Amino acid sequence: MAPRSQRRRHKKPSSPVAPMAETPPKVMTPPKTVNPVSLTLSKPGPSIDALGFFSLEKNVPGLSQLILQKLNMKSYDDYKLVIDGGIPISGFGFRCPQEMFQRLEDTFRFCAQCRALPSGLSGSKVLRCCTRCRNVYYCGPECQRSDWPVHKRVCQELHLVAVDHLVEWLLVTGDFVLPSGPWPWPTKVIQGWDTWFSMRALQLDASLDAVLGSQAMSTLWASVRQPRPASDVLQGSLKRLLTDALSRPLTLGLGLQALGIDVGKTGGSTVHVVGASHVETFLPRPGDYDELTYMFPGHLGLRVIMVGVDVATGFSQSTSTSSLKPGTIQLSSHRGLYHDFWEEQVETGQIAHPDLVVGFHPGFHSSPDLMEAWLPTLLLLRDYKIPTLLTVYSHQELTASLQILVDLGTHITAYGANPFKSLKPEQVYSNPNKQPVYCNAYYIMFLGSFHPLEQRQLEEEVDGKV
């Protein structure tokens, strides 16, 4: 193991966020390319939540203030309190559900062509949405015609985004309960969502039918004041949202399997989710991770600790090191940077050494500031030879992230398309006509570091020299 003093002497590699090659190293067959999403950020700091919020100004000046205004908030601090769980969603200050949904919809309103906000329109101009997707706005026919060659490529997919934005409310309120219970099929048979859906077919159909016929679904569409979509459209949305909720635990399970982690270890196994934010710790329900028990029915306990500067304040802070009961999953969190958590908690024996570390969308490729915050953690994971799995949104992110890991000398054991990626399309909020992406679309696994000769050979492959 590398002593602490050695880890602190590691220097940041030159130009870590500018990949030297356009193709990843040939560790496995390259995954199918998808259109990338731009993640250029404009505000320094290790918080990806804050960086994402302030980056809205770059593409649409004034948009961040419009969001705060429509959500009845005075500052980003108010917004942060909500996403951290300090203020319940019901505490936004809206008088009724109709007002809440209208305000949320209003935060999307700017011209996709000229970037004009409602306050910047002259005369009788108003922003009107595309009638096909109901997800992008234009200040007039000229802008809509000019933008159509770009918008038509994503219009149909953005319609799914618009439906999912609304139906997702049923997950927040608990009116959509995910199907759960022991897997009737062996784990080795479940290779992705197709087989997972087949395994859950009868139970899933009953769950979806119950939601489609519920009063909550009727109330939702009455509140948003839009025509209710057809049942097959709503059923498709519910399935996509289900994959979004279960993508993280099942991807974590994929890492446990692929990296050969022994979940039958006496006292239980430990997974650290590094770089965790409100996405992992605010809206998800602890029961979502019960799917790991069904995936590994013989496990002797799984301890999942979420570590990150954006961990929700209301998430469990219990980090007990006592042995777990077989078949139980303990979720807990720690707010802070992972390398600090390691020195303060793991090295002192207060927290169990991880059997696996997982990072969902770390984003270190996108910003020098984020790379600087992540560098000590990446070096720590490399030097202590901790099995690690990272996920990214797109093929471009995969290429850039692999290049950084190659520069750092990590031993990349595998990468590729994730069979348990979310099927829910994600829209780039400040640039709505970007090709939507999908959470956990690709994965990277690494373990320790390469021998210098092997590393040089791999770098030559990445540079296209062989």
pLDDT tens, residue by residue, 110-139: 999 999 988 888 877 899 999 999 889 999
What totals of helices (H) and strands (E) does the chain contain, helices first?
A: 18, 11
Position 11 scores a pLDDT of 36
Position 83 scores a pLDDT of 61
Task: Indicate if the pLDDT at residue 38 is higher than 90.
Answer: no
Of residues 352 and 96, more confidently modeled = 352
- pLDDT tens, residue by residue, 398-438: 999 999 999 999 999 999 999 999 999 998 877 889 899 99
**Two structure tokens written together for 41:** 């950020």
Task: Indicate if the pLDDT at residue 451 is higher than 80.
Answer: no
292 neighbors 376 (Cβ within 8 angstroms) = no
Overall average pLDDT of the 172-194 stretch: 92
- Mean pLDDT, the chain, rounded, equals 81
Position 47 scores a pLDDT of 65
- pLDDT tens, residue by residue, 300-310: 999 999 999 88
Of residues 362 and 89, more confidently modeled = 362
Task: Tell me the C-alpha distance between 163 and 245, whole Å.
Answer: 16
Confidence of residue 381 (pLDDT cuts 50, 70, 90): very high
Position 101 scores a pLDDT of 66
Q: Please state, for a pLDDT cut of 90, what percent of the chain lies above it.
A: 53
Instruction: Please choose, from the candidates 106, 112, 116, 178, the residue with its C-alpha nearest in 3D space to the C-alpha of residue 144.
Output: 112
Position 6 scores a pLDDT of 35
DSSP character at residue 389? E
Confidence of residue 335 (pLDDT cuts 50, 70, 90): confident
- pLDDT tens, residue by residue, 44-55: 345 666 666 666
HEC string of 117-182 equals: CHHHCCCCCCCEECCCCCCCEECCHHHHHHHHHHHCCCHHHHHHHHHHHHHCHHHHHCCCCCCCCC
Position 35 scores a pLDDT of 32
| pTM to 2 decimal places | 0.80
Task: Indicate if the pLDDT at residue 323 is higher than 70.
Answer: yes
**CB neighbours of residue 287 within 10 Å:** 14
Task: Indicate if the pLDDT at residue 206 is higher than 50.
Answer: yes
Confidence of residue 7 (pLDDT cuts 50, 70, 90): very low
Position 229 scores a pLDDT of 94
Task: Indicate if the pLDDT at residue 376 is higher than 70.
Answer: yes
- pLDDT tens, residue by residue, 59-69: 677 777 777 76
Instruction: Please choose, from the candidates 342, 351, 410, the residue with its C-alpha nearest in 3D space to the C-alpha of residue 382.
Output: 410
Of residues 282 and 95, more confidently modeled = 282
Confidence of residue 439 (pLDDT cuts 50, 70, 90): very high
Confidence of residue 43 (pLDDT cuts 50, 70, 90): very low
CB neighbours of 15 closer than 8 A, spacing ≥ 6?
none
